[in-house]
Amino acid sequence: MSKKRVVITGMGIISPVGTGTEKFWQSLIKGQSGITKITHFDASQFDAQISGQVKDFNPLDHFSTKEARHTDPFVQYAIVSSREAVAMAKLDLQNIDLDRMGVIIGSGIGSLQTLEQEFEKYLNRGPKKITPFFIPRIIINEASGQVSIDTGARGPVTCVATACATATNAIGDAYRFMQFGDADVMIAGGTESATTVLGVGGFCSLKALSQRNDEPERASRPFDLERDGFIMGEGAGVVLLETLEHAKARGANIIAEICGYGRTSDAYHITAPEPSGKGPAKAMEFAMQEAQLQPDQVSYINAHGTSTRLNDKTETAAIKVAFKEHARKVPISSTKSMTGHLLGAAGGIEFIAATLAVRDDIIPPTINYETPDPDCDLDYVPNEARKLTVNTAMSNSLGFGGHNASLLVKKFQE
């Protein structure tokens, strides 16, 4: 059967560098870091004491006091970013077929905050003090479920949990649903709010986090020789997708078009990437094959680029495998240098960054790139944004457990 074309008409962002898509984008192209000392809890005993916290989000601007109290931040972020995407798309929810509208929003972890709070209640006051909202607050599918309730979407509503590849898989899977006629409109992406005692403590125990606590803004340094770990971030990134026919029928402003999606598994290790990079390379190759693009036709890669020893070396190797001689010519950047790593939401905000690069013909930088690493020897767009015609952009995500996902977005043409 003939596959439908899928376009992007709306976007929504909550991030450490700003709430709202345009504020987020301006921060990125200016090279502004959102990494600060952790204030959610006393982190003085932790090896890592810095994170990318959301700073300009007040739930009471969006929810009643009761709603805010009974809804975890990761769900709040999903709802508010989805509302922004719907508003940007100028989608009239009263005049579309809501049976043909769906939601796929995932999370890598969901709510640790409520788990910690309610377990403390149990220990100190007994089981009858556990809130009846406990389960609805923590389960990951509540992000999609509550966005469905908020918008009235009655089509395919599900969620993805593939660690740090979550949002990329969610957007890619929504794209697939729409290509084969399961929906005309989808809200898709990821959300995360796991900067808690257990979240930070767990990643500290894995020795995965940067300990550059005295220099928060300089701590996330993907591909740099002096990188020492990633920085946890929080927020949400979602896109509103429509079939081309649906978008044109209502006269929507089309931002860009999704043209390729690839996903693979390393089948190797619970946390470490397979050293050759063949898994993520194959995901990139699959995305290019679907888009019918050669490597030299990809204008920009938004890398997973976590600022960890293994990831950055492996992703560099994967790009070399997938892009061959063009690997040294294609501009690559990691916006995690500014936002930190939003875990399950990372692929959402990074796909939006790639889409905005296509829209505006500007590539956001990899900040804090100061000392080249012989194992990471490609063009990482160091420290300053770069004006360049961006016809196509790729966004990569690699997750614990070996999940690899790549999306391609291009300028829309009739």
Give yes or no: residues 369 and 266 share one domain.
yes
The SS3 of residue 176 is: helix
15 with 157, same domain? Answer: yes
The CATH number that applies at residue 225 is 3.40.47.10
Residue 208 shares a structural domain with residue 345: no
Tens-place pLDDT, residues 92-120: 999 999 999 999 999 999 999 999 999 99
Q: 213 phi and psi, to 5 degrees? A: -70, -25
- The reply to whether 234 and 265 lie within a common domain is no
Query: pLDDT (tens digit, 9 = 90+) per residue, 37-56?
Result: 999 999 999 999 999 999 99
205 and 288 fall within a common domain: no
Residue 400: what residue type? F
pLDDT score for 221: 98
164 is catalytic: yes
Do 89 and 164 reside in the same domain of the chain? yes
| DSSP class of 181 | T
Q: Which domain holds residue 102?
A: 6-249
- On whether both 112 and 190 belong to a single domain, the answer is yes
- For residue 355, what are the contacts with CB-CB under 8 A and spacing of at least 6? 8, 11, 239, 255, 256, 393, 409
**Integer Cα distance of 399 and 323 in angstroms:** 21
369 with 314, same domain: the answer is yes
Q: 62 and 200, same structural domain?
A: yes
Is 366 in the same domain as 394?
Answer: yes
HSE-CB for 136 with a 13 A CA cutoff: 10
Judging by beta carbons within 10 Å of its beta carbon (0-12, 13-18, 19+), is residue 127 exposed, middle or buried?
exposed
Do 391 and 292 share a structural domain?
A: yes
Q: Classify burial at 122, counting beta carbons within 10 Å of its beta carbon; exposed 0-12, middle 13-18, buried 19 or more.
A: middle
pLDDT of residue 145: 98
Per-residue pLDDT reduced to its tens digit, 235-276:
999 999 999 999 999 999 999 999 999 999 999 999 999 999
Predicted pLDDT of residue 32: 98
For residue range 63-78, what is the model confidence (pLDDT) as tens digits? 999 999 999 999 999 9
- Read off the pLDDT of residues 217-227 as tens digits, 9 standing for 90 and up: 999 999 999 99
**If you write DSSP's letter for every residue of 27-88 in order, what string do you get?**
HHHTT----EE--SS--TTSS--EEB---S--GGGTS-HHHHHHS-HHHHHHHHHHHHHHHH
Amino acid of residue 1: M
In a domain, 112, yes or no: yes
Among residues 186, 214, 249, the one where a domain terminates is: 249
Tokens 């729409």, residue located: 178
Domain count of the chain?
A: 2
* 1 inside domain: no
* Cα 111 to Cα 15, 52, 226, distances in angstroms: 17, 17, 32
Secondary structure of residue 315 in the 3-state scheme: helix
Pair 244, 344 in one domain: no
Q: Is residue 131 part of a domain?
A: yes
For residue 31, being part of any structural domain is answered with yes
Domain membership flag for residue 255: no
Per residue in 371-413, pLDDT tens? 999 999 999 999 999 999 999 999 999 999 999 999 999 999 9
Q: Give residue 28's Cα distance to chain centre.
A: 14
pLDDT at residue 2, rounded to an integer? 82
Would the pLDDT of 1 be above 70? no
Q: Which of 159, 246, 341, 376 is catalytic?
A: 341
**Domain-ending residue, one of 249, 280, 307:** 249
Q: Of 224, 249, 274, which closes a domain?
A: 249
The count of other CB atoms within 10 Å of the CB of residue 249 is 12
Range 189-207 average pLDDT: 97
Tell me the pLDDT tens digit for each residue of 120-178: 999 999 999 999 999 999 999 999 999 999 999 999 999 999 999 999 999 999 999 99
Q: Is residue 227 part of a domain?
A: yes
Separation between Cα atoms, residue 159 and residue 161, nearest integer Å: 7
Would 256 be classed as within a structural domain?
no
Residue with token string 């890398």: 303
376 catalytic, yes or no? no
* Selected catalytic residue, list 246, 259, 304, 376: 304
**Is 156 contained in some domain?**
yes
Question: What is the C-alpha separation between 345 and 293, in angstroms, rounded?
Answer: 27
Query: Could you say which of 164, 204, 259, 376 is catalytic?
Result: 164
DSSP 336-395: HHHH-B-GGGHHHHHHHHHHHHHHHTEE--BTT--SBBTTB-S---BSS-EE---SEEEE
User: Which pLDDT value is given to residue 220?
Assistant: 98
* DSSP symbol at 160: -
